Amino acid sequence: MNKANKIWMWFALILLAVNLSTIGSFWYHMQQERIVEENKVEMPDEFRTRFLKDQLGLNEEEKMIFRSLNRNYNHDANRIMNQLRALRSDMVQQLGNKNCDTLELKNIAGEIGEMHKELKLTTVQFYLNMKSELNEEQQAKLYDLFSSLLQKDENVKTPRGRRNGWGRGNGPGRKNQ
């Protein structure tokens, strides 16, 4: 074999090794991501009381306290979410006007910001109220649940309840139960 062929052969082998390592690395990271997703615990939209009772090991007295706290939180959070929905509707309507009032849009945007702040503070207060009722081990579990929920950078979802139907296929017997 001449020198040029040897160089091309080594070049091809190096390219093959690089491609195989890239494919192997990609596959490995996909598997790791899948494992993390399977082990992630998410707070379901529905059946939150049962879910937290199981996750935190709540006794019956703690469960009753949580139900009361949860009911108050849902009432406040739903009120805020309804106000946000109305403000967004006002914003869209204002944007649809032939002559948009930019001052009004700025005011609506400010109100939306305040409502988001109020929702986050309501969530914080709910967390602190729950935390005050739990022992240290339960507090650590509650922290893990809330941190995974809040780090999604989404609005906190409140249960819809039976009065509005089961929602997006999350009825009894579903995996979120």
Instruction: Considering the domain delimited by 48-161, tell me its CATH architecture.
Output: Up-down Bundle (1.20)
Contacts of 111 (CB under 8 A, 6+ apart): 87
Confidence at residue 146, expressed as pLDDT on a 0 to 100 scale: 77
DSSP states of 101-151? -HHHHHHHHHHHHHHHHHHHHHHHHHHHHHHHTS-HHHHHHHHHHHHHHHT
Q: What distances in angstroms separate CA 94 from CA 71, 85, 129, 131, 151, one per listed residue?
A: 35, 14, 39, 42, 32
Q: What is the pLDDT of residue 121?
A: 93
CB 54 within 8 A of CB 33: no
Q: Are 87 and 111 in contact (CB under 8 A)?
A: yes
> Is the full-model pTM beyond 0.75?
no
Mean pLDDT on 25-30? 84
Structure tokens at 12: 């091809």
Judge contact between 44 and 170, C-beta under 8 A: yes
DSSP state of 46: S
First to last CA, the chain: 68
How much is the average pLDDT of 47-64? 79
Q: Please write the tens of the pLDDT for every residue from 166-177.
A: 344 444 443 433
Give the Cα separation of 110 and 82 in Å (integer): 16
Q: What is the mean pLDDT of residues 60-74?
A: 88
Q: pLDDT over 90 for what percent of the chain?
A: 24
